[in-house]
Amino acid sequence: MLSNGFIRNHAVGITADDTSLRFQYYDRSKVVESKPFGIVNEEFKKLFMAMVCQLHKLSTENLGFIPNLDLDGFDLLRNPEQLPYYFDKDPSKLVGATYTFTGTDGSRRRVRITKVLYRAEGIIGRCSIVVEVECLCKEADCTWHEKGKKRTRTKRKVMKISFPSKTRPSEDGLIGEARSKAESSGDTWALNHLPEVIDSITIPYHEENTVQGRLKKHLKENYEERVMRVTFLEKLHPLSELKDPREIAQVFYDVLQIHQWLYECVGILHRDLSSGNIMFRRIDGKVYGVLNDFDLSSRIRDMDQGPTSKQRTGTRPFMSVDLLDPDWEGGHLYRHDLESLFYIMLCLACRYEAPGVPAPEPRPYSQWFSGSDEEICNIKHKFLMSPFVLSQGLPIQPYFADFDPWLNLLHRFVSEGYHARPRPGIDISAYPGLKKHLPSKTLFDWQTLDGNVTYSVLRQFMSSFQEEPLDTRWTGFNPDN
């Protein structure tokens, strides 16, 4: 009910099997269910009827429907004629829904969903929904109206509804911090590679008046507090819209540059590189790669204080081996994002015949998209550590053949880094003759896998493509990183 159908904060339902019933409650942090009970017993039958009556009395908001989000008058729970209506997995059913809100400038606005761009599956977590919207305001001076003349009016907009942890820094706050730094420091080039937030509204769950608030009060540390956040951003373009391999290469090189600038100059680590978060915008005919979606990003100064959410950080197919390994205790490092960048490029070049055109089944690396964390960790570990991967050749599609040097070098350096990791010490004092057979190096740079996975290493080969230089946007980087 949460990952399909209409967008909800939470859902309440009843499940039945041959002998019993259960009341169930789902939200973005917890699944709660009652003990099974039968309705043959008269007492339980009365209890069941009382519960059904109470559920019917709840407002649509208390039933989990998002306030002010309206699907053209659709009200499943108030109109019996709509009971047979079934929301399947087709997210396009949300097209036509309207959302009314008060912006941070105090203006009351109403937008209509025109296209569903992305909807996350699952129950627990941020569960983001990204839709394209149009403004329905008819006021002549509305700065959002698509037919206006101001620069902000001409940009197509997306609305993202998500349910992040209450303790996590807000996406609009981090993006605003980065854009302000770019303007104040003179690094205005960075603005072309950052998303632009138009407005953002955060809606907390009141402690006394909402189920979420009461659950937190009752379960304490066993319940992760979340907020609902509605963010409006300039619409960007996905990689699948690019047709020139050189432009794709420029986007990846741009993402490397803006990632390093954020890390070194703003103190922000992105922490969730994925194929869906690497976008582009076109300005005066030129392509500029954009690093999108800062929902899981963190300020570096805060990362030593522990995680800001109880949920895994990253998109599983592109996560580094370390972060998939339950034994890893070293936190999220910048080279983990660079490893993710490698997997993104690898999957694009090997799993697609051309941008947006999937290769025939069976597609390479499919297990990365369906296995558990432990399974994917083991598969990726073998992929990196096996001496036969490069000798057999990466399964790169002909369209992406010019990415072969990049991908082979990336595999080589990431692999070398993992190979170089020190093993636990062994007491060999009783066998002094063995000392010469063991490596003597005691210091290892975990931050960069001993210098193998760094911005500097990647820049050396990603700054050119097809034997021609790409556009370098920034030269003020730290050459030691």
Average pLDDT over residues 31-43: 84
> Quick check: 314 and 126 in contact, CB under 8 A?
no
DSSP string, 391-445: HH-----GGGGGGHHHHHHHHHHHHHHHHTSPPPP---TT-GGGGGGS-------
pLDDT value at 309 more than 50: no
Average pLDDT over residues 305-319: 67
Distance between CA 276 and CA 315 in Å, rounded? 10
Distance between CA 462 and CA 246 in Å, rounded? 11
Nearest to 377 by CA among 368, 389, 364: 368
DSSP string, 81-142: GGTT----S-GGGGTT-EEEEE-TTS-EEEEEEEEEEEE---SSS---EEEEEEE----TT-
Most confident of 26-30, 92-96, 197-201: 197-201
Residue located via tokens 């090189």: 253
Q: What is the pLDDT of residue 257?
A: 98
Q: What is the pLDDT of residue 145?
A: 63
DSSP string, 338-354: HHHHHHHHHHHHHHEEE
Bridge-based pairing state of the strands 129-135 and 31-33: unpaired
Question: Which of 72-81, 218-227, 235-244, 377-386 is predicted least confidently?
Answer: 72-81
Nearest to 10 by CA among 214, 220, 202, 294: 214
Q: What is the pLDDT of residue 88?
A: 60
Rg (alpha carbons) of the chain, rounded to whole number: 26
Percent of the chain scoring above 90 in pLDDT: 61
Tens of pLDDT, residues 393-409 = 999 999 999 999 999 99
Nearest to 367 by CA among 331, 345, 389, 343: 343
**Mean confidence (pLDDT) of the chain:** 88
pLDDT value at 87 more than 70: no
Average pLDDT over residues 89-114: 88
Q: What is the pLDDT of residue 89?
A: 64
